[in-house]
Amino acid sequence: MVVSNTLSFGSGRVLFDYDTNAPIAFVSDVNPRRRYLIDPQLLWHSSGHYWGTGHVVTSLGSFRWCAPEKKIMKRDAQTLTFALDDAGLELEVERCGGADRLAERYTWRNVSGQRLVIRDLGVQTPFNDCYPSRGRALRESVNAHVFAGGAWSWVMAEPMNGSGADHDPILGLIVREGAVNAYSIESRDENTYSNIRGHIVLQVTDRARNAEAFGGQPELALEPDESYTLAWELGWYGSRKEFLEDTNPRAEFSTMCATVGDAITVRSDDPIIVDDSAVQVDSIADKAADGESVILTATKPGVYRVRIGSSADASTTEVLFHRSLRDQARERASYLLRYQRAKGRPGSLAYAFVPVDTRTGLRTEASGWADWGDGSERDAMAIFLQKAVNAGWFADNETSTANGSELPIPSTQEAQQAVDEWAQFAKEHLLDENASTRRDSAYPDDTFGDRIYDLPWMAEFFLDHYQASGDLGDLDLAARILERISELGGQRFLAISYAEVSERAVRELVAAGQESEANRLRQHVIDSANYFTALGTDLPDHEVAYEQSMVAPLVNLLISAYRFTSEEKYLSAIEERLHWLLSFSGPQPDSRLQDIAIRHWDGYWFGIRRQYGDVFPHYWSALTATVLARLPEPLRSTETDRMALNIMRANMANYGEDGSATCAFVFPSSVDGRPAHQADPLANDQDWHLAIWLRLIADEHFPEV
C-alpha cells in the first residue's frame, strides 16, 4: 500500500491509495493516532473493501468496482470514473475538500441504451470498529453508529474512549442527497471472529438479497442515460450534540419505545405514516412547536415502521410498543415452564432450563456447543423466575389471552417449585465440591474449564433463593461461590454482575450476623477495583479482547468500591470510564438502536442460524442500564436516567406476545450475502434482561413500566 495524495478538510485530511485512488485513512490533526478506517495492512482488509468501492446488481447483471478507468486529481478535488460494464452503468465519484467538510458524490448513469433496474447497490465504508487488545481499542478504534433511515441517514464514528475525550473528534458522515435504505456487513466469519465487526456497507438498496429488510427495499429504475446520485459530507465534530444538530433531523420523537396504551409524540414538518392497522396516527395541536404534531398509539405490541414524508425522499425509522413489564414477564414465565424445561431427561437433569426452537417448541441438545448447554447463560431463566416469585408477580387461577388463546399464568407455588427443582439440578450437576461451576451438566469433568463469568450468576441465584427459602445454607453457598471467584483470580477479571451480587451478599451476610464473611467479600471488591484502576486503559483480554460487557462490569466495580468506602478517588475513575461505556451506545432515532450498545457476535454463538453480525437490541445492553441506574449522585442526570429506562424498554422487542423470545435479532440487511434483519428462532439467553430489570427494581428502586 502506497499513499498517492491527500485532500484536507476541517482539522484533518484523507489519504488515498496509490493503486485504486480510494481513501484509506481519515486523519485528525488533533489526534493522528486514531484510526477511523480499518488499517489497510491487515490481511483480511483487501482493496475490494476500501472506502468508496462497492457493488451493484441490476436487471442486466452485477459488478464490483475497485480501480477506476479514469482519474482527475486537483489540489482540493478528485474525480474518478468506473465502467460497470456487466451492470450497464458508469459510475462517477467526485470528492471535494479544502473546506470544513469533505463532500463525496456518487453518480451511477445508465449507459446500456435500455431501461434497467437497480436491485442492490452498496458503497463500502470500512470504519475501524475493531477490538485490538491491551488498550489499543481505546486509543485507536471507533464505534460506528449507523442510522440507515432513507433520506435521513448518517454514520457517527466515535472514538472508543468517548466523545470529546482529550478533544478526540467524532468523524461524522451525513447523507445530503439520495438515500441509504439499509446497511450490510461483509467479512464476518470464523476468520474474523468476535473482535472485528466487519466491513460496513451503506446500501442504497439491498433488495436482491433481502427485499423485506428495513421495512422494504426499493428498486431503482433508470431509463437510458438517466442517473442516480448518492451524496454525503464528512466532517470532524467535537461532540454528539454538534454532530446530531448537523444531520438536519427529519422528525423529533418523544421516545422510541412506549407501553401499549401510552403514546409517542412526533414533531415533523413532513407527513407521518405507519402502514399498520394496529397503530393509529392522530394530529394534535402543539403549542411548544407552534403548530401540529402527531401522536402514535398501538393496540398490540410490536416494532412498527414509521415513514416520514410521502415523496421519493421519504425517511424511515421504527418505534416499539411493548406490553407492561409485569405482563410480559408473566407470559415469559409461562412459556419457560411449558417449553424450556428439559423434560424427558432422567432424574434431576429434567429440572434444567434449556434453549428451545420457537418455531416448533422443540428444545435443543447442546452436543458440546457450550452456548447451547444447560448452565452458564441459561442460569438467567432460573434467576428471572425466582426474582419474579420474590416480587410477588404470580397468583393462582390466572390466564393470559395472548394471541387469542388462553394460557395459564404460573401460580406462585408452581413457579417456586420449578425454581426449587432447578436449585437441586444446579447443586447436583453444575456445582462441584469447591463451589466452582460447570458450563454444562454433560461435562462433569469441567471440560470447558473454570469460567469465572458463571460464578456470580450462580451466587445471585442462591441469594435470591435464600430470600424465598430463608435457609442459611443458600446464603452460605452464595458466599462460598463468591469466595471461589477470588481463589480463581477473579479479582483480576471483569465478571458480569460480580460487583452488584457482592454488594447484595454483603448486605445479607451483615443482616445474618456474619460480619467477618461480609468484610472479606467487601475487601475483595475494593481490591479488585484498585487493581483495575491502576491498570488504566491497559485492560486484559477476556473472551473478547475489548467490549461493552467488560467496561460495564468495570464501572460497576468502581461504583461498588465507592459505595463501600465513600472515597472520592473512585468518582473520577468512574467518570472517565463512563465515557468509554457510553461510546458503545448510539443516539440513532430507532427503537432497536437508540442507547443500545454495539454487539456483533451472539447470533453465531447462541442462535440456530449461526450468523455473525450486529445484534440489536442485545440483552447485555442492559449492563449499561445497571451502571446508569447505580451512578453516584454527582454523576447522575435526567439524561442518564432516561437512557437507563430506554435501554430496558428497547429489549422488550426480543419477546413475543405469547412469551416466546429470540436470543438475537441480527440487524443488518445481509451479512456476507446472507439475508439478515431477522430474529433468530432460538430462545436461549435473552432472559438476563428481565432478571436484571427485576434486580434493579429490588435493589435500586428502578421504574417498572
pLDDT of residue 3: 58
Beta-strand ranges (E) seen in 70-169 are 70-73, 77-84, 89-96, 102-110, 116-124, 142-147, 154-159
Q: How far apart are CA 27 and CA 7, in angstroms?
A: 10
Angle in degrees, 0-180, between the axes of helices 515-535 and 498-511, rounded to the nearest 10 = 160
Q: Of 74, 97, 112, 403, which Cα lies nearest the Cα of 234?
A: 97
**CA 509 centroid distance within chain:** 36
Q: Which three cell numbers stand for residue 194?
A: 468476535
**CA 326 centroid distance within chain:** 24
pLDDT of residue 286: 76
CB atoms inside a 10 Å sphere around CB 122? 27
Model's pTM, two decimal places? 0.96
Give phi and psi for 605, each to the nearest 5: -75, -30
Q: Going by DSSP bridges, is the β-strand pair 62-65/23-28 parallel, antiparallel, or unpaired?
A: unpaired
Q: Of 415, 408, 428, which Cα lies nearest the Cα of 341?
A: 415
8 Å CB contact between 26 and 14:
yes
Q: Which three cell numbers stand for residue 166?
A: 482529550
DSSP reduced 3-state for 169:
coil
- Rounded to the nearest 10 degrees, how much is the dihedral formed by the CA atoms of 126, 129, 130, 131? 170
8 Å CB contact between 185 and 122:
no
* 8-247: CATH number: 2.70.98
> Could you say which residues of the chain have pLDDT below 70?
1-4, 163-166, 287-291, 397-407, 445-449
> Is CATH 3.30.479.20 the classification given to domain 325-700?
no
* 251-322: CATH number: 2.60.40.10
pLDDT of residue 398: 65
Q: Going by DSSP bridges, is the β-strand pair 70-73/62-65 parallel, antiparallel, or unpaired?
A: unpaired
Ranges of each domain in the chain: 8-247, 251-322, 325-700
pLDDT of residue 403: 47
First to last CA, the chain: 55
Kind plus residue range of the DSSP H or E element containing 165: none
Give phi and psi for 14, each to the nearest 5: -115, 135
H-assigned helices in 306-409: 325-339, 379-390
8 Å CB contact between 201 and 124:
yes
Q: Which three cell numbers stand for residue 582?
A: 457510553
Exposed/middle/buried for 95, CB within 10 Å: 0-12, 13-18, 19+?
Answer: buried
CB atoms inside a 10 Å sphere around CB 674? 16
Q: Which three cell numbers stand for residue 483?
A: 469466595
CB atoms inside a 10 Å sphere around CB 159? 26
